[in-house]
Amino acid sequence: MSESVVLYGLKKCSTCVKAMKWLDANDVPYTFIDYREQPVDAKTLKDWAGQAGWDKLINRASMTWRNLPESQKSPASQEDYLALVADHPTLVKRPVAVGLAPNIVLGFSEKKYVELKG
């Protein structure tokens, strides 16, 4: 595991709060970046999508996704996904942990975090 983790998400998201509590309890240094206050730039999103795929990166179970018009629920290109996330940053699954593993880690699972911490 790297020296420091960057955790992206939403301050009030219960899953993000669980991840931060776990990192605190396990003395893992991290920086938290809220999607709403600091939207993720296109280059970073492309990198994440390259690692995980847009299908895993976009939270299709979210209220934001469910409230989208049907016409926006079938992005045909990377540019379509980027435009969608630019308009609705909360569509990105959360949290996204960078630096906890070689690749990004989507969501929070105590078991997975324990395995990554080693």
Residues designated catalytic:
13
Whose CA is closest to 44, among 3, 104, 111?
Answer: 104
**Measured distance CA(8)–CA(6) in Å, rounded:** 6
CA 94 to chain CA centroid, Å, is: 4
Alpha helices in 3-62 (DSSP H): 14-25, 42-52, 54-57
Inter-residue contact 69 to 56 (CB < 8 Å): no
**Measured distance CA(40)–CA(29) in Å, rounded:** 21
